[in-house]
């Protein structure tokens, strides 16, 4: 049975949250003044609704009714928001709906249409009145670079086309960049829906990334080769001049190439290499539509394995980063250990074939990175 995904704001709490008849429970994000403070799993009650009092009891008085620091309602400077997409009109439409009106605050929204075969993306961008840019060569990192080149703001934020942006997101994300030492910010990625077994499986696979604490990753705090821990490419922002200084995203990595992923992690690593910090904040949260079929999930996770080990190959060969060899060994067994620990602890855990899909992709990472390097000569 599906899981209903909902949000509960402590400072504007409804008396009850209706629960659908076809679900077995709720995944509930609890926020206070827009700031995430907890993520709860609640079994479907017989009454068909969960009351505010029931939810408050689950918090045991530990949730702040008034946050220590509210998410800033306005930014000191407007930002460029880049949405890279390729022939996914339904996802893009939903993403742009969540960004409606944001340009009134001085932000700009850019849609990068990567290697289009139809005019559907351009039509949807025009319908929402946002600027679209065509990047004719396939590759997510090429599309990201095209978005950076077309942007006009000092901060460039990236969201995937299959996410829905929360209201606090723009201010929360870019407030992290008030400190000039910070070169990059990342945010929380939550499931938009949990309607299928495959989506539940992917959520179990991702659950260790559900961090509700703000983190600052300074150079030296985390090895550059382990930069994947700082966040996800679905929700990230950079100083535009830093991206230019670093030469942009590596076109040999990520979706649209044989390596299939790893472009975000590679850029996080290069930001740390450049001596700049990265800030993760859960206040900048977005909702991600997970893949709906088991085949899609396995293919996605298989691609994660390829991209990660392609990126690590680059670290070893081009940066002479021998710590990447340690990271490679640790990340090869890490997902297996985490899944086994979750199963033994009675917590939700991904299917073994999902976990092993990432392991199966790992040996192809060096091969496909070498191929993309040859192809991009």
The token duo for 356 is 């092993």
The token duo for 236 is 């990230």
Q: Output the pLDDT for position 72.
A: 47
Q: Output the pLDDT for position 355.
A: 94
Residue 229 per-residue DSSP state: G
Prediction pTM value: 0.95
pLDDT band at 369 (very low <50, low <70, confident <90, very high): very high
Q: Where are the domains of the chain?
A: 3-59, 80-292, 295-375
**Residue 124, CA distances (Å) to 83, 111, 145, 170 in order:** 12, 10, 21, 22
In a 3-state reduction of DSSP, which class is residue 35?
Answer: strand
Question: Given the DSSP bridges, would you call strands 3-9 and 25-32 parallel, antiparallel or unpaired?
Answer: parallel
- Asked if residue 61 has pLDDT above 80, the reply is no
Return d(Cα 88, Cα 246) in angstroms, integer.
30
**Residue 35, CA distances (Å) to 9, 14, 240 in order:** 9, 17, 27
Residue 188: which of 345, 29, 24 has the closest Cα?
Answer: 29
Residue pLDDT, tens place only, 17-28:
999 999 999 999
**Is the CATH code 3.90.550.10 the one for domain 80-292?**
yes
Return d(Cα 355, Cα 351) in angstroms, integer.
7
Q: Output the pLDDT for position 73.
A: 46
- Reported as type and span, the H/E element at residue 314 is helix 294-318
Mean pLDDT of 164-181: 93
Residue pLDDT, tens place only, 225-257:
999 999 999 999 999 999 999 999 999 999 999
Residue 213: which of 187, 251, 246, 234 has the closest Cα?
Answer: 187
In a 3-state reduction of DSSP, which class is residue 25?
Answer: strand
* Position with higher pLDDT, 292 vs 346: 292
């Amino acid at each position: 049975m599906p899981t209903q995904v909902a949000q509960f704001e402590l400072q504007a709490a409804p008396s009850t949250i209706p629960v659908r008849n076809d679900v077995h429970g709720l995944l509930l994000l609890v926020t206070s003044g827009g700031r995430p403070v907890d993520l709860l799993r609640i079994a479907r009650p017989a009454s068909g609704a969960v009351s505010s009092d029931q939810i408050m009891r689950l918090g045991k008085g530990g949730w702040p009714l008034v946050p220590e620091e509210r998410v800033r309602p306005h930014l000191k400077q407007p930002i460029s928001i880049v949405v890279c997409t390729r022939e996914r009109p339904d996802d893009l439409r939903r993403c742009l709906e969540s960004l409606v009106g944001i340009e009134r605050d001085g932000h700009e929204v850019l849609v990068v249409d990567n290697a289009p075969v139809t005019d559907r993306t351009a039509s949807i961008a025009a319908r929402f009145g946002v600027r679209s840019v065509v990047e004719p060569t396939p590759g997510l990192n090429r599309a990201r670079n095209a978005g950076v080149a077309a942007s006009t703001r000092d901060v460039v934020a990236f969201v995937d086309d299959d996410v829905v942006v929360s209201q606090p997101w723009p201010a929360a994300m870019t407030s992290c960049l008030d400190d000039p030492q910070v070169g990059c910010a990342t945010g929380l990625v939550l499931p938009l829906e949990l309607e299928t077994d495959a989506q539940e499986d992917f959520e179990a696979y991702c659950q260790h990334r559900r961090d509700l604490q703000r983190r600052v990753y300074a150079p030296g705090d985390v090895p550059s080769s382990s930069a994947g821990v700082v966040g996800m490419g679905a929700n990230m922002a950079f100083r535009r001049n830093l991206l230019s200084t670093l030469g942009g995203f590596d076109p040999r990595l990520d979706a649209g190439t044989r390596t299939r992923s790893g472009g975000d992690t590679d850029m996080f690593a290069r930001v740390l290499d450049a001596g700049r910090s990265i800030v993760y904040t859960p206040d900048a949260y977005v909702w991600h539509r997970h893949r709906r079929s088991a085949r899609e999930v396995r293919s996605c996770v298989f691609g994660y394995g390829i991209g990660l080990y392609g990126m690590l190959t680059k670290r070893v060969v081009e940066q002479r980063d021998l710590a990447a060899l340690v990271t490679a060994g640790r990340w090869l067994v890490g997902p297996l250990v985490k899944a086994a620990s979750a199963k033994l602890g009675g917590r939700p855990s991904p299917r073994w074939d999902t976990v092993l899909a990432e392991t199966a992709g790992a040996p192809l990472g060096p091969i496909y990175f070498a191929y993309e390097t040859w192809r991009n000569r």
